[in-house]
Structure 1
Amino acid sequence: MKVLVEGIGSMVFGTQLKYYNQMNWQLVGIDITNKSFGLYKGLKPYIVPKYSEKNCKNCFEKIEEIVKNEKIDLVFCTVNEGLLEWSKRKKYFKERYNTNVVISDEEVIEICIDKWKTYNFFCENDIPTPRTSLKNEFELLKPRIGRGGCGIYHKNNLPENFNMKGYISQELVEGEEYTIDVLCDLKSNPIYIIPRKRIETESGVSTKGVTIYDEKIIEYVKLIISRLKPVGIINIQCFKNGDDINFIEINPRIAGGISLSFASSDNWFKAIECFYYNKEYVPKKVIYNNYMFRFYEDLIIHESNLL
Structure 2
Amino acid sequence: MKVLVEGIGSMVFGSQLKFYRELDWELIGMDVTSHSFGLYKVDRGLLVPKYSDSGCWLKIEEILEKEKINLVMPTVNEGLLTWSMNKKTYKEKYNTDISISDEGVIDICIDKWKTFEFFKHIGIPTPETSLEMKYEFLKPRVGRGSAGIFFKNQIDIKRFNMAGYISQEIVEGDEYTIDVLCDFDSNPIYIIPRKRLETESGVSVKGVTVFDEEIINYTKIIVDALKPIGIINIQCFKNEKDIKFIEINPRLAGGSTLSFASSDNWFKAIECFYNNSVYEKKEVMYDNYMFRYFNDLIINKREMLV
Matched, 1:13 2:10: no
Amino acid aligned to 2:210: I
Q: Give deviations 1:190-242, integer Å, cap 9, x for gaps.
A: 00000000000000000000000000000000000000000000000000011
Which residue of the partner structure matches residue 80 of structure 2? 83
How many Å separate the matches in 2 of 1:42 and 1:117?
A: 36
Structure 1 position 156, deviation (Å): 1.2
2:28–2:42 Cα contact (<8 Å) kept: no
Residue pairs, 1:179-258, within 5 angstroms: 179-258=177-256
Q: Deviations over 1:20-63 (max 9, x none)?
A: 000001110000011100011142011000011xx1x4111111
| 3-state SS, counterpart of residue 11 of structure 2 | coil
Q: Which residue of 2 aligns with 1:73?
A: 70
Whole-angstrom distance in 2 between the partners of 1:48 and 1:159? 38
Query: What TM-score do you get using the length of structure 2 for normalisation?
Result: 0.98
Segments of 5+ residues of structure 2 without an aligned counterpart are: none
Please list, as runs of the form range in 1=range in 2, the aligned pairs for 1:13-32 lying within 5 A after superposition.
Answer: 13-32=13-32
AA in 2 matched with 1:47: L
Q: Is 2:176 aligned against 1:178?
A: yes
Q: What is the CA distance between 1:125 and its match in structure 2?
A: 0.3
Gap regions ≥5 residues in structure 1: none
Q: What does residue 266 of structure 1 align with?
A: 264
Cα deviation, residue 302, structure 1? 1.7
- Work out whether 1:108 is the aligned partner of 2:105: yes
In the alignment, the residues of structure 2 paired with residue 237 and residue 186 of structure 1 have an alpha-carbon distance, to the nearest angstrom, of 22
The whole-number CA distance in structure 2 between the counterparts of 1:164 and 1:38 is: 37
SS at match of 1:279: coil
Count of aligned pairs between the two proteins: 304
The residue aligned with 1:275 is 273
In the alignment, the residues of structure 1 paired with residue 295 and residue 202 of structure 2 have an alpha-carbon distance, to the nearest angstrom, of: 19
Q: Which residue of 1 aligns with 2:164?
A: 166
Q: Give 1:298 shift.
A: 1.0
Say whether residues 1:134 and 2:112 are aligned partners. Answer: no
- C-alpha distance in 1 between matches for 2:245 and 2:51: 28
Q: Read off the aligned partner of 1:50 and give its amino acid letter.
A: K
**Structure 2: distance between partners of 1:274 and 1:96:** 23
Offset, 1:243? 4.2
| 2:119 aligned partner, one-letter code | F
What's the offset of the Cα at 1:158?
Answer: 1.2
> How many angstroms apart in 1 are the aligned matches of 2:181 and 2:155?
38
- Letter of the 1:108 partner, please give it: V
TM-score, normalised by the number of residues in structure 1:
0.98
The SS at the match of 2:175 is strand
Show CA shifts across 1:151-181 (max 9, x none). Answer: 0001111157211010000000000000000
Distance, in Å, in 1 between the alignment partners of 2:181 and 2:95 is 23
1:59 to 53, 56, 59: 56
Secondary structure, counterpart of 1:281 in structure 2: coil
Report the counterpart of residue 38 of structure 2 in structure 1: 38
The 2-side partners of 1:42 and 1:49 are apart by 19
Identify if the C-alpha distance between structure 1 residues 226 and 205 changes in structure 2 by more than 3 Å, giving closer, same or farther.
same
Distance in 2 between the 1:254 and 1:26 partners? 19
Number of the residue aligned with 2:298 = 300
User: What CA RMSD, in Å, does the superposition of the two structures yield over aligned residues?
Assistant: 0.8
2:152 corresponds to which of 150, 155, 167: 155
Cα distance in 2, alignment partners of residues 234 and 110 from structure 1: 14
